[in-house]
Structure 1
Amino acid sequence: MKELGELVHLFVAAFLFHFAAYMIIPATTDITMEALCPGQDACSLAIYLTGFQQAVTGLGALIVTPLVGNLSDKYGRKTLLMLPTTITVLPLAILAYNQTREFIYAYYAVKMVAGMFADGCMQCLSLAYVADRVCERRRASAFAMLLGVSTAGFVSGTLLARLLPVSSTFQVAAVAAMATATYVRLFLEESNPCVAQDDEESTKPLCSTSSSSSSLSDGESSPTLTILRKRPSLSEMINLLTSSSTLSRAAVIAFFHSLGENGLHTALLYYLKARFHFSKDQFADLLLIIGVVGTFSQLTLMPLLAPRIGEEKLLTVGLLASCAHVFLYSIAWSYWVPYLAATFVMLSIFVNSCIRSIVSKKVGSSEQGMAQGCITGVSSFASVICPLIFTPLTAWFLSDDAPFHFKGFSIMCAGFATLTALVYSVTILTGELTTYEGATRPEEEQNSGPNPIFTKEPR
């Protein structure tokens, strides 16, 4: 409980950040289509503009997030958290001022740049902050609580957006974003005990080998990275992810899961508007269901199940639910089916927490920012590829020129990406079971000494 008490200020900041970021989602689709394609239920220009923004943002985040994560290992989490919380204010302020066609274009242009620093960095740095404060045994539950609080911010923002007029929605979101940056600056304490105090130490390891290795699971050695002032090279990132078979598998799963999730998000709102004529209020209702169910799951189910079942099994369960979640959207035959599909978030929301916890246990305390940044970078790479595939596919099958009548075809394709992640997650589960079965029993360890199976994880 003491460890969780030290995270209160981070939880408040995460709540406010996601409150501001997600409040505008239900209204953004409506105002974009109203500005670009007035009076239409399908708008290819809006779909392509959104897809282009996601691709550029993802490409930038792929480069920026590992850099920011690595710098946070050197300069501290709080210092770097000021970057995403501050830059998020800019695009919100544009729409708070006006929502005409010109300002819509300005919003997407600024959002492309701001998203590079905000979308992935906030999550990466928050997870690294939690890893600094919480011991390995309780880390999965702490990650779940962080993501649960973030989802609670998403729910609160969506609920308020349901009640506010469109113009006021963006104004409130901008004020909340400014409050987030102010709160982080005034109240959040530095978490990284290994922050260097002298410029001369910039090329030294941040933590001793003994302290780093003590946080590793199963005795696996941690890859030692030199904390630099420059951007970590591609070879350093690859070396980190390939230093452990579990890290490699987690990166692959993160890629395909992100590809499926981003594919769903790219198409869903435009699909529902074209298929069932959803408006801002229906979007908000759907997002509220997702948020409430996700918050309940992260704050109650995940802390209970993770210590008993293990992150590996929960990851497989979450991906199975995620597949059902996506496929059900794609074949929705009535307006109530999307609401039913949204309830599968209760289990599918486990995926991100489990991946992050698995990765966190495989690196030392001085590489938490770098490791989380690399996984976020992998997810960002998926978000770069996603619009190139799903944006034209969505626009094509929502248009009158579709080769066959199946408006949810692009969403079904996203489901196959998630299915690939599910199949690959079994390799992590199988690898862990193999390790456990081959390990010596505790009473045998006392007689036989250290078990060599823990010196290197089997590939």
Structure 2
Amino acid sequence: MEKFRELIHLFVAVFLSTFATLIVIPAITDVTMMAVCPGQDECSLAIYLSGFQQAIIGLGTVVMMPLIGNLSDQYGRKALLTLPMTLSIIPSAILAYSRTTSFFYAYYVLRTLTAMICEGSINCLAFAYVADNVLERQRTSVFGILSGITAAAFVCGTLAARFLSTAMTFQVSALVAMLAAVYMRIFLQESLPNSENLAQPILKSGQDDHSQDGGDLPMKPMVSKKIPSIQAITSLLRSSVTFSQAAIVAFFNSLSFGGLQASLMYYLKARFHFSKNQYAELMILLGVSGMASQLLFMPFVAPRVAEEKLLAIGLLGGIANALLYSVAWSAWVPYASTIFSVFEVFVTPCLRSIVSKQIGPNEQGKAQGCMSGIISLANIISPLVYSPLTALFLSEDAPFNFPGFIFLCIGFSTMIAFFQSILIRAVPPISSHKSSSSSSILA
């Protein structure tokens, strides 16, 4: 029961943090358009600004995610969770104060800088925390529950945004982000598989290590040894064929998801004149589908169906969703396409579980950070490809009249991930897990 209580505290902290992040999404498109192109339904500058921000954030997280994951293996998940949870308060607080053009650009810059650390790091560390405390055979289900908690926060945040004013939306976001950081620091217990390394705090020097020798040897910088090199990451990817295949799937699936992030809301605004309320309604349906799938369906299906098969099913759902968006002929079609979210949400917990079983217990943070870095690399590339295509095919200068062409490209990227996923075969977890599994039990 002790392990279970700690997971409950983790779930609450992740829920609050995700709620604070996602509540602003339905409003941010309108805020951006009002600040950059007031009174317009189509604005190439807003699309390019959003795409550029996504690419820069991805560039930062490619470096930061493996570093944060690796540091969490040495200094603990809780210690590293404190940084992104604290930094995520700042951008919402700016727009909670004012949403004029000057404040929007201040938000834009600080959101870009803070998201280099915050984007994906909370989920990365949460997955590593679960892997520390859950047996291998239970991980897919618990990863699914964690994804379901995220979906529940998505639903609650979007529902709140639907009924709150724009100003109140950002105020609530800042307040809940503060609450998430405080709750995590008070209630969450530290998790560290290699506990002897926690004897020294993360910011303490290594002098005590040399004092027992009676010499005054020069102190070596500790942090430099914790930054994974390109060779170390490459070695990690090559440590298992299954790990490498999962990394390829994660890259192409994230390339598609990044394309949706960069394009979807601007496409819906230009094509069907969506606003904050319509975005919120659509996102609520997406979140309810994902939450129901992860919390009600996944715990029963995961123990009975191989995770690589669930992964393939999820990618098929993504392909179907992209194709339906590409031919959307009415405003109700995007709402109808949310049914495929029931299957799409299988992808993340299955990938994370597959990877966690290929790596030893002392490298879970490094492995999850490496996967997050690969996802971030895709997030650099996707806006560079999809934002210009979106702006082109929504403009009057399109080479042919097909506004949904961008979603055909997204579907093609997901199809590559699907074909790679069907090559994944179940591989027995590495033997080092056997000796440590008795200490990681979900009561």
Q: TM-score, normalised by structure 1?
A: 0.87
Aligned-pair CA distance for 1:227: 9.7
Could you tell me which of 372, 376, 388 is aligned with 2:384?
A: 388
Could you tell me which of 260, 280, 287 is aligned with 1:284?
A: 280
Q: Deviations over 1:170-205 (max 9, x none)?
A: 000000111111111111101224231345999xxx
CA distance change for structure 1 residues 308 and 228 in 2, over 3 Å: closer, same or farther? farther
Note if contact 1:22-1:157 (Cα within 8 Å) is conserved in structure 2.
Answer: yes
Question: What is the DSSP-based 3-state SS (H/G/I as helix, E as strand, rest coil) of the residue aligned with 1:259?
Answer: helix
Aligned amino acid, residue 37 of structure 1:
C
2:437 is aligned to none
- Could you tell me how far apart the structure 1 residues matched to 2:157 and 2:295 are? 18
- Could you tell me how far apart the structure 2 residues matched to 1:185 and 1:162 are? 30
Aligned amino acid, residue 33 of structure 2:
M
Aligned amino acid, residue 163 of structure 2:
L
1:361 is aligned to 357
- Could you tell me how far apart the structure 2 residues matched to 1:86 and 1:190 are? 17
Aligned amino acid, residue 144 of structure 2:
A
Unaligned residue ranges in structure 1 (runs of 5+):
203-225, 437-459
Note if contact 2:6-2:188 (Cα within 8 Å) is conserved in structure 1.
Answer: no
- Could you tell me how far apart the structure 2 residues matched to 1:270 and 1:194 are? 47
2:141 is aligned to 141
2:314 is aligned to 318
2:7 is aligned to 7
- Could you tell me how far apart the structure 2 residues matched to 1:300 and 1:45 are? 42
Aligned amino acid, residue 198 of structure 2:
Q
2:41 is aligned to 41
Aligned-pair CA distance for 1:228: 6.4
Matches within 5 A, 1:65-84: 65-84=65-84
Aligned-pair CA distance for 1:120: 1.6
Question: What is the DSSP-based 3-state SS (H/G/I as helix, E as strand, rest coil) of the residue aligned with 1:307?
Answer: coil
2:215 is aligned to none
1:373 is aligned to 369
1:239 is aligned to 235
Aligned amino acid, residue 228 of structure 2:
P
Note if contact 2:193-2:362 (Cα within 8 Å) is conserved in structure 1.
Answer: no
Note if contact 2:36-2:46 (Cα within 8 Å) is conserved in structure 1.
Answer: yes
Matches within 5 A, 1:26-425: 26-195=26-195, 196-198=197-199, 229-425=225-421
- Could you tell me how far apart the structure 2 residues matched to 1:366 and 1:235 are? 19
RMSD: 1.7
Note if contact 1:127-1:143 (Cα within 8 Å) is conserved in structure 2.
Answer: yes
Question: What is the DSSP-based 3-state SS (H/G/I as helix, E as strand, rest coil) of the residue aligned with 1:55?
Answer: helix
CA distance change for structure 1 residues 229 and 181 in 2, over 3 Å: closer, same or farther? farther
Aligned-pair CA distance for 1:2: 6.1
CA distance change for structure 1 residues 36 and 236 in 2, over 3 Å: closer, same or farther? same
- Could you tell me how far apart the structure 1 residues matched to 2:123 and 2:35 are? 32
Moved over 2 A (4+): 1-6, 197-202, 226-230
Unaligned residue ranges in structure 2 (runs of 5+):
205-221, 429-443
- Could you tell me how far apart the structure 1 residues matched to 2:295 and 2:95 are? 33
- Could you tell me how far apart the structure 2 residues matched to 1:38 and 1:116 are? 29
Aligned amino acid, residue 174 of structure 2:
A
Note if contact 1:73-1:227 (Cα within 8 Å) is conserved in structure 2.
Answer: no
- Could you tell me how far apart the structure 2 residues matched to 1:103 and 1:228 are? 37
CA distance change for structure 1 residues 84 and 59 in 2, over 3 Å: closer, same or farther? same
Aligned-pair CA distance for 1:150: 1.1
Q: TM-score, normalised by structure 2?
A: 0.90
Q: Deviations over 1:203-240 (max 9, x none)?
A: xxxxxxxxxxxxxxxxxxxxxxx996431101101100
CA distance change for structure 1 residues 127 and 200 in 2, over 3 Å: closer, same or farther? closer
Q: Deviations over 1:338-395 (max 9, x none)?
A: 0111121001100011000000011011000000000000000000001110011101
- Could you tell me how far apart the structure 1 residues matched to 2:183 and 2:76 are? 17
- Could you tell me how far apart the structure 1 residues matched to 2:105 and 2:323 are? 33
- Could you tell me how far apart the structure 1 residues matched to 2:35 and 2:61 are? 28
Q: Deviations over 1:109-161 (max 9, x none)?
A: 11111111111211110000000111111011110111111111111010000
- Could you tell me how far apart the structure 1 residues matched to 2:23 and 2:352 are? 25
- Could you tell me how far apart the structure 2 residues matched to 1:165 and 1:387 are? 29
- Could you tell me how far apart the structure 2 residues matched to 1:228 and 1:301 are? 44
Q: Percent identity?
A: 53
Note if contact 1:61-1:377 (Cα within 8 Å) is conserved in structure 2.
Answer: yes
- Could you tell me how far apart the structure 2 residues matched to 1:40 and 1:380 are? 31
